[in-house]
Amino acid sequence: MAQTAERWLMTKPGAPLVMEGFDPFPPGPGEVVVEIAGCGVCHTDLGYYYDGVRTNHELPLALGHEVSGRVVAAGEGAEDWGDRTVIVPAVIPCGSCELCQRGKHTICPNQKMPGNDIQGGFASHIVVPAFGLCPVDEGRLAAAGLTLPDVSVIADAVTTPYQAVVQAGVQPGSLAVVVGVGGVGGYTVQIARAFGATVVAIDVSQDKLDAIADHGAGLTLNARDFDGRELKNRTRAFAKSQGLPLTEWTIFECSGTGAGQLTAYGLLNHGATLAVVGFTMDKVEVRLSNLMAFHARALGNWGCPPELYPKALDLVLDGQVQVAPFVEQHPLAEINRVFEDVHAGKLARRAVLVPGG
């Protein structure tokens, strides 16, 4: 077999990722081969690698689901994508089943997630269905001062909170509270602000709070300094001082921790919406009747429908959501070191792995 590409495989949780050569050509009907420009390292990848979260595809498997690049080969029915610059959806629905036909792309039973259902983006090339690809205008990209690897994180870190903000119904005059403002949470703050909300940011890291204060947070609160009751009291006082609603807050849990989930749940008020965006294997104990008593609702947020990707990309290219200050590029060949550093909390920005570096 001709080995025209390479990918880094997880052979078992915690074991060093190993590189293998493979041949991605030719793509099958409806598929494309994307030459990868960059692939972001997500909290979900670390869950598979360090925490033993099971992948749907058997090992060995290349992880990575935040992919940008250029289509270098297109199969039958996908010819229009040839030589186009794209972002690959983190969760790719089939587009043809009954649920997809009703617009329920996020619960498509045939969906394919790179690095979970199929071989992922920690590679030089990836083979994916063409359905849902998001085209990237290279002229607008350059005008925004961004590179193609930079916008790989749109595939999850930006589009997932974008979908969450849309689903929760955030609008001008809303009060949004974001718990956990690193990574996905930082983009949630920016997107909610772009939708016209005033945003309260809560985290245990003062560095992260200081960073997001310059990118959309109207109030920052360090959860290490206040218990749950005081966090709610301070949020209420801020809302009152700004002439904002004292009911119907939208609370985004983005920390992906049990402690963060408890904090978010404790902020429920009358008519509130709790949007669960982060993932954790932690279990929490809550009084579920609070949802009833407050006439509140809780929403899950899995991925993002492909039709919303262009709108999320527009926010970035128009400068309403800043990506560059929150990402840093690393050579793909250093993936094992980067995984260790991300897991140890040594990187302040989201790592994007770049092939050939």
pLDDT of 53 > 60? The answer is yes
Domain spanning 5-155+304-354, CATH architecture: Alpha-Beta Complex (3.90)
What are the DSSP calls for 164-211, one per residue?
A: HHHHHT--TT-EEEEE--STHHHHHHHHHHHTT-EEEEEES-HHHHHH
Q: Does residue 161 contact residue 188 with C-beta atoms inside 8 Å?
A: yes
Kindly state the average pLDDT of the residues 227-242: 98
Q: Does residue 153 contact residue 327 with C-beta atoms inside 8 Å?
A: yes
Sheet containing strand 273-276, strands side by side = 217-222, 198-203, 175-179, 250-253, 273-276, 297-300
Looking at residue 1, what is its pLDDT? Answer: 37
The percentage of the chain sitting over the pLDDT mark of 70, rounded to a whole number, equals: 99
The domain locations on the chain are: 5-155+304-354, 159-300
- In the structure, how many helices (H) and strands (E) does the chain have? 11, 15
Q: Using a cut of 0.85, tell me whether the model's pTM lies above it.
A: yes
Nearest to 187 by CA among 351, 280, 323, 299: 323
End-to-end CA distance of the chain: 25
Distance CA 66, CA 156 (A): 6
pLDDT 10s digits, 250-297: 999 999 999 999 999 999 999 999 999 998 889 999 999 999 999 999
One fold for 5-155+304-354 and 159-300? no
User: Residue 3: which pLDDT band, with cuts at 50, 70 and 90?
Assistant: low
Distance CA 316, CA 308 (A): 13
**Average per-residue pLDDT for the chain:** 96
CATH of the domain spanning 159-300: 3.40.50.720
